[in-house]
Each structure stands twice: as structure tokens, then as C-alpha cells.
Amino acid sequence: MESLDRQRRNRSMMIMGILTMLIFIVLVVSMNTGYARLSPLEVLSTLFGYGSAKQELILFEFRLPRIIISVWIGAGLAVSGCIMQGVSRNALADPGILGIHAGAGLAIMLFLTFFPTTAAAPIFVLPVLAFIGAGLTAVLIYVLAYKRYKGLSPTRLLLTGIAVAAGISAAMIVLTVRLAPDKFQFLATWMAGSIWGTDWKHVWALLPWLLVLLPYVFMKAQTMNILNLGYEPSLGLGIDVSREQLKLLAAGVALAASCVAVSGGIGFVGLIGPHLARRLVGPRHQFLLPVSALTGGLLIVVADTLGRSLFAPVEIPTGIITAVIGAPYFLYLMARTKV
């Protein structure tokens, strides 16, 4: 048994190393990709301080912040999806599908409706507002889907999340009538899943959330392993199931809300990332959570790079690329999963 655990640990570490290397390779490619192209040699010289003023502007002010945010939001959304799948024991759980993105978007939209201008909106306030909207939505979904003595029902959770998301989306469409053209353009960009937060202030706005939430979730890996056993076995092992579920769901909602506040409504990453990670390292959350983060980061940075390069200078929103990949995968899971 000890030998088997060591083999699994070594395999998981090897996979994490490979994913990290792939992310690094895509980062190098992404730094060379865009409307204004930089050769690998120009990128390297600019990184070491030997580039021209134009090259430094392109690399340090436009591309690097966006690339960093792409990796971070991919990691955050994938870990959020992993939490929701683990807590609800529902293979189809995802922050976007369950309406968390819609709740965050509604809060941001209400803020924009009454705030004078999007340019003046405090960047550090947007993740907080997104968390409030997503948190209220999650509470509503939790209350409607929860069954006493049975915990969260996977079927009820999925159907309730889809219904709530549809209702919120309808409300957002109605509210767009009140928006000025510049605000409507901002919201349309946000809803399409285009990474609009592309400078260093957005990096610093997102960083505190990830620094607090990701270590907390990783420390809860063993608790999530026990919760996967079911409601009654978890109680028998001394876990306060409802309390732990609420804390983990709050962390998952906060991760998703803070990420979509600077990235827009990018969907399916929280669905695909954990599933790919589970196929690579199995269900133990000590390995599943970090591999999900790496997989999600890789997915988003690849999608963003493709969106910027396929039809340059026209940019395809990252959310559309992930939807092209994620929607068929969701239908495939629906066909295989009994819900």
C-alpha cells in the first residue's frame, strides 16, 4: 500500500511538472503572438532590459499582465469547479452552469447602471461586488437544492442552478435598456468572456483573493475526500457535513466571482479542468486540486492565445473558444452521467 501511494505521488508530481512546462511553453508562444509581433529573440532581449521602448510597452504593459491573468483565472475557475463537483458529488457542476457567473454579472451590471462611468469604477471593488452577487445566488441555489438529512441533491443542484441562471440572464437583458452605449459595450464584452482586465492593476486586484483562497482550499483536501463518501459516512467519520460544505462552497464562489470580475463570463473551465485532472491523477484531492489549477490555467492561456491569433487583428473572446470546446464536452458528460 505504501509503495502504491508512493507511485501515485510520483506520477502526480510528474504530471504537475509536465503541465507546468506546457504552461511555460504556451506563455513563451503567447508573448510572441499578437497584432504587433515580436520574435523570440526580441522577447528575450526585452525581458532582460535590452528591448526598445515600443517592445517594452507591448510586452510589459499589454501582454504580460494579460498572460498572468489568463493563467490565474484559469486556475481559480478550475479549482472552483473542482470544489463544486466534490461537495455536490455532481460531475456536471460548474460555476457557469450553476449560475454563479450570472449572479456575479448581475451585481456588476447593477453597479454599472448607477455608477457614472466604467473607467472610474474602482478596480478593487469589482471582485467584492462580484462575490456579493455570486454569493447571494449561491445561497439561493443551495437553499432550493438542499434536502434535510440527505445534503445536496446532485439533480436538484444542477436543475436549480440552470433555472436560476436563466432567470438572472433574463433580468440582465431587461436591465440593459437602462445602460448608456459605453456601459452596454463593456457589459457585452464581459458577457462574451473576453479578458478585459489586461493591465497590472487588475493583476493586483485578483492576487489577494488567490493568495488567500487557494491555500485554504488545498488545506481542505482531506475533508473533501471524506465528503465524497456521502452524507452519512462523512457524519460517521466526525465531519460536520453542512458546515464544511458551506465553507467550501463559499471558497468556490469567491474564487469564481473574483476571477470573472476581471475576465468576464468564461464558462466550462470549471467543468473541463477538474475532469481532465481526474483522468490524470485520480480522485484524491491532494493531487486533484493542484492539477486542476494547472489544467485550468493551461486551458485559458491556450484559448486566449488562439483568440488573439486565429483571425488577427480581429480578436475572438476567450469565452467563445472555451465554449466551442466545453459545450460538446458537457453534452458528452450529460449522455454518460445519470442525473
CA distance 64 to 25: 14
CA–CA separation, 106 vs 63, rounded Å?
A: 29
- Return the half-sphere exposure (C-beta side, CA atoms, 13 A cut-off) of residue 215: 5
Burial label for 314, CB within 10 Å (0-12, 13-18, 19+), is exposed
Residue 287's pLDDT band, with cuts at 50, 70 and 90, is very high
Least confident of 47-61, 76-90, 156-170: 47-61
- pLDDT tops 80 at residue 255: yes
Contacts of 148 by beta carbon, 8 Å cutoff, 6+ apart: none
Which among 23, 35, 25, 24 is positioned nearest to 63, based on CA atoms? 35
Lowest mean pLDDT, pick from 40-49, 134-143, 165-174, 283-292: 40-49
Contact 98, 257 (CB under 8 A): no
Confidence band for 337, pLDDT divided at 50, 70 and 90: low
pLDDT digits (tens, 9 = 90+) for 30-52: 888 767 777 777 777 887 777 77
| Per-residue confidence band for 72, with pLDDT thresholds at 50, 70 and 90 | very high
Q: Of 53-57, 115-119, 123-127, 303-307, which one has max mean pLDDT?
A: 303-307
**DSSP element (H, E) containing 216:** helix 200-219
Share of the chain above pLDDT 90, in %: 20
Residue 22's alpha-carbon distances to 32, 135, 334, in angstroms, are 16, 34, 29
Residue 122, pLDDT score: 66
Q: How far are the Cα atoms of 163, 303, 323 from residue 329, in angstroms, in the given order?
A: 21, 16, 9
Q: Which of 222, 72, 235, 220 lies closest to 149, judged by CA?
A: 235
Q: Tell me what the mean pLDDT of segment 111-123 comes to.
A: 62
Q: Is the pLDDT of residue 246 over 50?
A: yes
Cβ-contact 326, 267 below 8 angstroms: yes
**pLDDT of 312-324, one tens digit each?**
777 788 888 888 8
Task: For residue 302, count CB atoms less than 10 angstroms from its CB and return exposed for 0-12, middle for 13-18, buried for 19 or more.
Answer: buried
Q: Mean per-residue pLDDT for 132-148?
A: 84
Beta bridge partners of 152: 146
Taking each helix axis from N to C end, the angle separating 2-31 and 285-309, rounded to the nearest 10 degrees, works out to: 20
Q: What is the DSSP letter of 115?
A: S
Least confident of 4-8, 130-134, 298-302: 4-8
Does the pLDDT at position 334 exceed 70?
no
Q: How far apart are CA 261 and CA 254, in angstroms?
A: 10
199 has a pLDDT exceeding 60: yes
Average pLDDT over the chain, rounded to an integer: 82
Across 125-147, average pLDDT: 85
Q: Looking at this protein, which amino acid is placed at residue 273?
A: G
Cell numbers at 327, concatenated: 459545450
Beta strands in 251-306 (DSSP E): none
The CA distance from 331 to 328, in Å, is: 5
